Amino acid sequence: MSRTAVEIAAAVASGAASAVSILEEHLARIDEREAEIHAFNTVLTDEARAQAAEIDRQVAAGHDVGPLAGVPIALKDNLCTRGIPTTCSSRMLEGWRPPYNATVVERLAEAGAVLVGKTNLDEFAMGSSTENSAFGPTRNPHDLSRVPGGSSGGSAAAVAAGFSAVALGSDTGGSIRQPAALCGVVGMKPTYGAVSRYGLVAFASSLDQVGPFSRDVADSALLYELISGHDPRDSTSIPATLPSVRGHLDRGVEGLRVGLIRELLGETLDGFEPEVLAQTRAAADTLAAAGAIVDEVSVPSTIYGLSAYYLIAPAEASSNLARYDGVRYGHREEGGANTAAMMRASRTAGFGPEVKRRIMLGTYGLSAGYHDAFYGKAQRVRTLIIDDFAKAYENFDVLLSPTSPCVAFPFGAKSDPLTMYLNDVATIPSNLSGQPSISVPFGTGAHGLPVGVQVLAPLLGEPVMYQVAAQIERAAKEPLLQETLLKEGRS
């Protein structure tokens, strides 16, 4: 497998490797496997070659080339890229080219990253398997008969398959962390407001956050530092200097207090695979072995997160997606008797079934007479979850749970929407609370498929979150230790 972003940037900046040669390695892998994986909606071969050549010219001229010089990157296709199609994997936006870049895209470009393509997703980021893409599903590089997770399945698969060194996704209820877990890569959702949402096509504005995919924790930390920070174009962006995280990676976990979330250990809720739970406990054991104080902690309201989420997110989505009416851009069905008929026909044809389902759910939940019983109550549950987490963090520095209850599942296995929604149970609470969390690969589960362990931290707790994630990663890279612990711990 290819080098990490940190290694590539160092090699390119020093002249040890050319950006063009690095890019060609990645393009070769795309050539070889993209047809079967379908990670991308758009591959930008020519643009990427031109960009890489420019980086090499800069290096040759002795210019400063930035911390991501020559690093091939993929972007989820709901991040706006100037002049480049941004589809959200929806017929509704097929062919739409934004006249501007998302703030995160600007920041990556300034850092010298090379954009190789726009990745597939569940339509408008609504889903957990990338099966809801209007352009066909993405396949899991570890097993082509299985989903890569979602909604950022294309970004997760691209990094897992070595199509790009790193990628960006968006996470509204787990859409970065869950596919990261299912594809065996690192995926991180920052504190709400740490990363600008300007140019991220909105799904649920109070929950959406942009975050990185990478093959290791160090790359994740680097990407996070580069894309985070105040943006005056996003009113919900935190107007403060954020703490650096990369200095925390090598600090170890001696004395840190780690809480295993009891409600997410398979006893309260069904559907958790035993192997996933075993790996989660094993990860906790490695932390204990490294000097952390590990204990179980109850965060009682987490189990209501799913219900609250599936009222709040669709409500916001029903409003956010109203603008796709066929009037100004996007798909239009001609021939309606009047404007209303044209809008109805365009939306009927332009949106897929899951998007329609959520728009209807959200519209209903906000309607007069139901507003308080549904949307209002969900917001109160949200407050409850925030309070519960605050209580837990009085005694713990970070919390730990499985990222997903199961490893990658076969296509069509969760065709019932409610079964699919249950897949987000461990990831949703962090979106509702606005707190950061990261999924780190830790061993394998059923069928030898990757398992991800989730580290949760309080608001702006990215430094300690990365500190713990790095320790888990170190342990995961020592297979002997891991096996020993698994045997000892479970016997």
Partner 1 sequence: MTIPEREPQNLPDGWEMVIGLEVHAELATHTKMFSPAPNHFGAAPNTNVHPVCLGLPGTLPVVNAKAVELSIRVGLALNCTVQRCVFARKNYFYPDMPKDYQISQYDQPLNADGWLELPSGYRVCVERAHMEEDTGKSTHVGVSGRIHDAGYSLVDYNRAGVPLLEIVSRPDIRGPEEAKAYVAELQSILIAVGASDGKFEEGSLRVDANVSVRPTGSTELRTRCEIKNVNSLRSIGRAIQYEAIRHVDLYTAGEAPIQETRHWDEEGGRTRPGRSKEEAEDYRYFADPDLVPIDPSPEWIDEIRAALPALPRERRQALVDLGGRGEAVTVTVERRLDTLVREAVALGADAERALIHAANNLAVEGADRLDSARFAALVTMETSGQLTSTQAKQVLASMVATGRHPAELAAEAGFEAMDTGELEGLLDGIIAARPDEWQRFVEGEAKLQGMFTGQIMKATGGKADGKVIAQLLAAKKQA
- Please list the active-site residues: 76, 151, 175
d(CA 242, CA 238): 9
Amino acid in the structure at residue 67: P
86 interacts with partner 1 by CB under 8 A: yes
- Number of helices (H), then strands (E), in the chain: 16, 11
The length of the chain is 491
Sole binder of partner 1 in the list 315, 428, 438, 465 (CB under 8 A): 315
Sole binder of partner 1 in the list 53, 100, 384, 474 (CB under 8 A): 100
325 interacts with partner 1 by CB under 8 A: yes
CB of 325 to partner 1, least distance (A): 6
Rg (CA), the chain: 21
For partner 1, give the closer residue by CB, 282 or 343: 343
Number of residues in contact with partner 1 under rule CB under 8 A: 44
Instruction: List the alpha helices (DSSP H) in 321-452.
Output: 339-350, 353-365, 377-395, 417-422, 428-433
Q: For partner 1, which stretch binds (CB under 8 A), given 14-22, 242-250, 316-324, 446-454?
A: 316-324
Please give the structure tokens belonging to residue 68: 């991501």
Peptide bond into 129 cis (omega under 30): no
Sole binder of partner 1 in the list 171, 216, 316, 462 (CB under 8 A): 316
94 interacts with partner 1 by CB under 8 A: no
171 interacts with partner 1 by CB under 8 A: no
Tell me how far the alpha carbon of residue 264 is from its chain's centroid. Answer: 20
386 interacts with partner 1 by CB under 8 A: no
Amino acid in the structure at residue 333: E
Beta-strand pair 186-189/437-444: antiparallel
339 interacts with partner 1 by CB under 8 A: yes
Q: For partner 1, which stretch binds (CB under 8 A), given 88-96, 244-252, 389-397, 436-444?
A: 88-96
d(CA 458, CA 191): 8
Please give the structure tokens belonging to residue 86: 């941004």
Residues 175-234 that bind partner 1 (CB under 8 A): 197-202, 204-206, 232-234
84 interacts with partner 1 by CB under 8 A: no
d(CA 98, CA 364): 31
CB of 115 to partner 1, least distance (A): 16
61 interacts with partner 1 by CB under 8 A: no
Give backbone dihedrals phi and psi of 296, rounded to 5 degrees, phi first.
Answer: -85, 150
d(CA 256, CA 288): 9
Tokens 């104080």 belong to which residue? 293
H/E/C letters for each residue in 261-316?
A: EHHHCCCCCCCCCHHHHHHHHHHHHHHHHCCCEEEEECCCCHHHHHHHHHHHHHHH
Please give the structure tokens belonging to residue 484: 């020993």
For partner 1, give the closer residue by CB, 178 or 318: 318
Tell me how far the alpha carbon of residue 456 is from its chain's centroid. Answer: 14
CB of 486 to partner 1, least distance (A): 43
For partner 1, give the closer residue by CB, 343 or 469: 343
Q: For partner 1, which stretch binds (CB under 8 A), given 106-114, 178-186, 214-222, 339-347?
A: 339-347
d(CA 229, CA 236): 12
Sole binder of partner 1 in the list 244, 348, 367, 395 (CB under 8 A): 367
88 interacts with partner 1 by CB under 8 A: yes
351 interacts with partner 1 by CB under 8 A: no
Q: For partner 1, which stretch binds (CB under 8 A), given 91-99, 161-169, 406-414, 424-432?
A: 91-99
126 interacts with partner 1 by CB under 8 A: no
CB of 448 to partner 1, least distance (A): 39
d(CA 71, CA 164): 8
380 interacts with partner 1 by CB under 8 A: no
Tokens 């530092």 belong to which residue? 225
- Which residues are near partner 1 by CB under 8 A? 78-80, 86, 88, 93, 96, 98-100, 102, 197-202, 204-206, 232-236, 315-316, 318-319, 322-323, 325, 327-329, 339-340, 343, 363, 366-368, 371, 375
